Amino acid sequence: MVLPYYVSPEQIMQDKAEYAKKGIAKGRSSIAMEYSSGILLVADNPSALNKISEIYDNIAFAGAGRYSEFENLRKAGIRHADLKGYLYSREDVTARSLANAYSQSLGTSFSQDVKPLEVEILVVGLGEQDHPNEIYRITFDGSIYDEKGFTVIGGRSEALIIFLKEHYKGASGVTEVLKLSIEALGGVTNQAINANGLEVAALDRTRQGRKFKRFIPEEISELIKKSGES
């Protein structure tokens, strides 16, 4: 008879966390940053597969790490939001409730599944009528962080956060914020970032109804050109 070997719970959790962190650090980073009329989401993502997505009228999502896993989470989030909006009303769909649901799911998966999810996700909610914006970062183990101003997920996020802490000067225009994000991404990866290698979207308060806007490559180039002039 083979004896079952004993591994302490601490050891299991530590191994899982290390495994997940390694997977997430391998990928590229995404940044969320407040600007004067909303929140800008910038992902270092040359592929056609999106990392940033609309969830609801005032809510957007960004994922980092293993694509198949955060894509599943993104879809689950849209279902959660649409169901809630259909059951109650559009204004009852909130970023906080969604972030909580994500936290629950990720937390449960981390403690129960053999393989933890190698993802880090962002849920951002656009504040309206004097309500502040909400930026939630949720990590692989379900920990949830309420961030102010900006945050970074995936890749070398810690280095990026240090850079942005130094250079982020509060919510300015969209071109300045995009420029800063590109500088940060380029500086940390030591690569020139051009419009084709970026995925950019925003929750823009000036829009009617659904606030999410995805920028097409031509618009990104235009914004980059403008930021160079200013």
Contacts with other proteins by CB under 8 A lie at: 50, 53-55, 72-73, 75-80, 82-83, 85-87, 100-102, 104-105, 108-109, 210
Q: How far is the CB of 100 from other proteins (least distance, A)?
A: 8
To other proteins, the closest distance from the beta carbon of 213 in angstroms equals: 13
Q: Based on CB atoms, which residue is closest to other proteins, 18 or 82? A: 82
Least Å from the CB of residue 72 to other proteins: 5
109 or 175, CB closer to other proteins? 109
CB under 8 Å to 29, separation ≥6 — which residues?
43, 44, 64, 152, 153, 154, 155, 156, 157, 160, 185, 188
HEC string of the chain equals CCCCCCCCHHHHHHHHHHHHHHHHHHCCCEEEEEECCEEEEEEECCCCCCCEEEEECCEEEEEEECHHHHHHHHHHHHHHHHHHHHHCCHHHCCHHHHHHHHHHHHHHHHHHCCCCCCEEEEEEECCCCCCCCEEEEECCCCCEEEECCEEEECCCHHHHHHHHHHHCCCCCCHHHHHHHHHHHHHHHHCCCCCHHHEEEEEEECCCCCCCEEECCHHHHHHHHHHHHHC
100 versus 189: smaller Cβ distance to other proteins: 100
Closer residue to other proteins, CB minimum distance, 7 or 87: 87
Sign of the Cα torsion 146, 149, 152, 156 reads negative
The distance of closest approach from Cβ of residue 59 to other proteins in the complex, given in angstroms and rounded to an integer, is 11
Least CB distance to other proteins at residue 201 (A): 11
CB closer to other proteins, 97 vs 221:
97
**Shortest CB 26 distance to other proteins, Å:** 22
64/188 with CB nearer other proteins: 64
